[in-house]
Structure 1
Amino acid sequence: MSNSDETAARPEPAPALPRVLEDYLDHLGVERGLSANTLASYRRDLDRYLVWLAGRGIDRLDDVSPADVGAFATALASGEGQQAPLARSSVGRSVVAVRGFHRFTTSEGITPTDAAAEVSPPRVGTRLPKALRLEQVTALLASPDPTTVEGVRDAALLELLYGTGARISEVCGLDVDEVSRALDDPDAGLRLLGKGSKERIVPLGRYARDAVRAWLVRGRPEWQSRAACPGPALLLNSRGNRLSRQSAWAVVQRAAERANITDEVSPHSLRHSYATHLLDGGADIRVVQELLGHSSVTTTQIYTLVTVEHLREVYRSAHPRAR
């Protein structure tokens, strides 16, 4: 056999794992349109996976077996080294990321077989969303101090979260121009940019409109003047920059403390409460699905379980034959 024949017969070297990971993340972002937050979550899970493989001396995807993938899931659940055990939901998310990664490498011809095809994420029991009672929401929304710039900003944030059912990232991502259109024409609604860059329009109620107008007139101009490079963001921090999700979470926590709410409260609690209170009020589940931006009504149906549980509580407390 000639040297040229030997060269032709030699298999191509496998691409380095980090490079394959970047190709996969590019695929998720460009072809599937996943959001930056979702991509960051995939990167964290898969970085952990590649580090774990390297610790077992595996540097080629061809060498990964189904047993390796299963052992990775077990290690996440039990904890390994300095790594604390992960919750079942977190393990499931990581396994889903790994399965998608291996499916991609197989479809692209990088590996001949899918090592993760037979490894299923652990089953997670249904966890009902924690919705606040209406009186708790009322106290929460009334807690900011309207005489301070911070209080006016906080009131606008809270009213937007509960009044629209938006995710915290959607509210923090709002710009002034987008909200101004909803303020000028309430019938037009508020445009939100959700997961996967999907847009939806939600009604903006009077309380939210009043709170946002107060912020635009009495608070935002003062804080915007502090920014080195003023931007279009609706909600700002005291330095004039766009309010981060972490800071918004802290706003909700402080409001809960002022309202003397001992239950765990987060920005998502207001989204849960929005959906639950709509269904309690007689809203059609498919309307709530559209308002929440869920791609499937199945996702929204978990809120009907919350309302059924509420009915059970009322029955148990009020009916003489319930116990």
Structure 2
Amino acid sequence: MAEQTDARLVAAVESFLDHVRSARGLSEQTVRAYANDLDQLVEFAAQRGIGTTTGLGLEALRDWLWDADQRGLARSTIARRSSSVRAFTRWASETGVLDTDPAARLRAPKGSAHLPRVVSTDQVRSVLDGLTDRAGTDDPGALRDLAVVELLYAAAIRVSELVGIDVEDVDRSRLTVRVLGKGGKERVVPFGLPAKDALDAWLERGRPVLAARAAAQTPDRSPGQVRARRSGGDALFLGDRGGRLGVRSVYRVVARALEDLPGAGPSGPHTFRHTAATHLLDGGADLRAVQELLGHASLGTTQIYTHVSSARLREVYRTAHPRA
């Protein structure tokens, strides 16, 4: 009986994930976050003999969040878990899987209010100079890494958007790239000449090498669909084996590029997105123009960068003004 009721909870979670993936059009990254959180909830519930959605009362959900807090999970992680389970139980109540919504009154600590990491223009230049030196050897991986970081900073795009770009999405004559953002929303964003130069070198001398590497690893007798699956197809950026470059690989590229820079904080691809937005505002860009560039649905999301810019201004003032 326990296995049967367990399966019913798992089935409800799977139905919810199918719903947010298809009906709501959420990004695959968001769906994976929901799936990870709800998998943790199912495991927690099973340990306490809860195998059905009706067993997920408010107290059980509070215990789940409390357990996460006791294990030292970050406040932002607990807040995300709370959001995930509230989305799940709201869907369950709206579709009749649950009679009521037990998480409607669930509260969790707000996420960390730390400002995103921003590196200076000199530090960005140092990173890109180092990558340019490596790319001077015409190593295909080095050419790709330079183009990746140049485009992340120039276009201020998300890592999920970057890895989803196809070759045809890049207009090198108009210096624009088409990306697919959150919620399946498409937008066209500009980039500059240094990024174009890096993309030109990658497309002309780097990408063909990695694409040929993928073709060489695929037996001639393999069906066409297998060859397509092993290769990167139309992807702009390819991994070392010739397939579409993945998010984890981009994280490794950026972490290596930032590892020698002073300062604490995350060393992921979003650092360049945060940095680009802040540098635009420092340079006098209009907040709504930055909102459109970043693909934010709400202006309030973009306004965090005004706080970052102000913080940088105060720091410059304290160190440079004689009467600060």
- TM-score by length of structure 2 reads 0.88
Aligned residue among 185, 199, 203 for 2:174: 185
Task: State the distance in 2 between where 1:120 and 1:216 align.
Answer: 50
Shift of 1:286: 0.7
Within 5 Å, which residues of 2 pair with 1:227-306? 227=214, 228=218, 229=227, 230=231, 231-257=233-259, 260-263=260-263, 264=265, 265-306=267-308
Q: Which residue of 2 aligns with 1:112?
A: 99
Q: Counterparts in 2 of 1:166-185, with a 5 A limit?
A: 166-179=157-170, 182-185=171-174
Determine the C-alpha separation between the residues in 2 that align with 1:309 and 1:217: 42
What residue is the counterpart of 1:8 in the other structure? none
Measured against aligned partners, the alpha-carbon deviations of 1:100-135 in whole angstroms (never above 9, x if no partner) come to: 111111111122111111111212341101110000
Letter of the 2:65 counterpart = A
Counterpart residue identity of residue 213, structure 1:
D
8 A contact 1:33–1:197 mirrored in 2: yes
Q: Give the counterpart letter for 2:158 in structure 1.
A: R
What is the Cα deviation at residue 184 of structure 1? 3.1
Q: Are positions 1:225 and 2:225 aligned together?
A: no
Query: How much has 1:23 moved relative to structure 2?
Result: 1.2
* In structure 2, distance between residues paired with 1:211 and 1:320: 42
Amino acid of the structure 2 residue aligned with 1:280 = D
Aligned partner of 2:222 in structure 1 is none
1:94 paired residue number: 81
- Alignment partner of 1:205 is 2:192: yes
8 Å CA contact retained: 1:275, 1:303: yes
The alignment status of 1:43 with 2:35, answered yes or no, reads yes
2:11 to 15, 19, 22: 19
Is the radius of gyration larger for structure 1 or structure 2? 1
Query: Residues of 1 paired with 2:97 and 2:160: CA distance?
Result: 36
Preserved CA contact (<8 Å) 2:157 2:294: yes
* Secondary structure of 2:213's aligned partner: coil
1:63–1:223: structure 2 CA closer, same or farther, 3 Å change rule? closer
Query: Structure 1's 60 and 268: CA in aligned 2 closer, same or farther, altered over 3 A?
Result: same
Partners of 1:64 and 1:237 lie apart in 2 by 43
Q: Which residue of 2 aligns with 1:194?
A: 181
Whether the 8 Å contact between 2:6 and 2:50 is mirrored in structure 1 is no
Aligned equivalents of 2:92, 2:62: Cα separation in 1: 18
User: Are the counterparts in 2 of residues 17 and 50 from structure 1 also a CA contact under 8 Å?
Assistant: yes
Displacement of 1:15 in angstroms is 8.2
Q: In 1, are the aligned partners of 2:163 and 2:237 still within 8 Å (CA)? A: yes
State the shift of 1:159 in Å.
Answer: 0.7
Residue aligned with 2:188, SS: strand
Tell me how far apart the structure 2 counterparts of residues 191 and 65 of structure 1 sit (CA, whole Å): 45
Shift of 1:277: 0.2
Q: Is the partner of 2:202 in helix, strand or coil?
A: helix
Cα distance, 1:74–1:226 mapped onto 2, change above 3 Å = same
Task: Report the counterpart of residue 3 of structure 1 in structure 2.
Answer: none
Q: For residues 16 and 141 of structure 2, what CA distance do their matches in structure 1 show?
A: 42
Q: 1:157: Cα distance to partner?
A: 0.7
Residue 320 (structure 1) shift: 3.6
Secondary structure of the 1:277 match is helix
Instruction: State the match for 1:82 in structure 2.
Output: none
Distance 1:261 1:282 in 2: 26
Counterpart residue number, 1:66: 58
What CA RMSD, in Å, does the superposition of the two structures yield over aligned residues? 1.7
Amino acid of the structure 2 residue aligned with 1:18: V
- TM-score, normalization: structure 1? 0.88
Give SS of 2:98's match: coil
Q: Distance in 2 between matches of 1:252 and 1:235?
A: 15
Could you tell me the percent identity over the aligned residues?
44
CA shift at 1:14, angstroms? 11
Task: State the number of aligned residues.
Answer: 299
Could you tell me which residue of structure 2 aligns to residue 164 of structure 1?
Answer: 155
Q: 2:141 aligns with which of 145, 150, 159?
A: 150
Residue segments in structure 2 that go unaligned for 5+ positions in a row: 219-226
* 2:14 counterpart letter in structure 1: E
Residue of structure 2 equivalent to 1:139: 126
SS at match of 1:192: strand
Residue 285 (structure 1) shift: 0.7
Looking at structure 2, the residues matched to 240 and 30 of structure 1 have their Cα atoms a distance apart, in angstroms, of 29
Distance in 1 (CA, whole Å) between partners of 2:184 and 2:14 is 21
> Hey, what's the Cα distance between the residues in 2 that align with 1:135 and 1:126?
26
Contact 1:279 1:285 in 2 (8 A): yes
Gaps of 5+ in 1: 1-12, 80-84
For 1:253 and 1:14, the matched residues in 2 are separated by 40
Q: Deviations over 1:216-264 (max 9, x none)?
A: 111111111011334111111222111111111111222234xx31335
1:60–1:151: structure 2 CA closer, same or farther, 3 Å change rule? closer
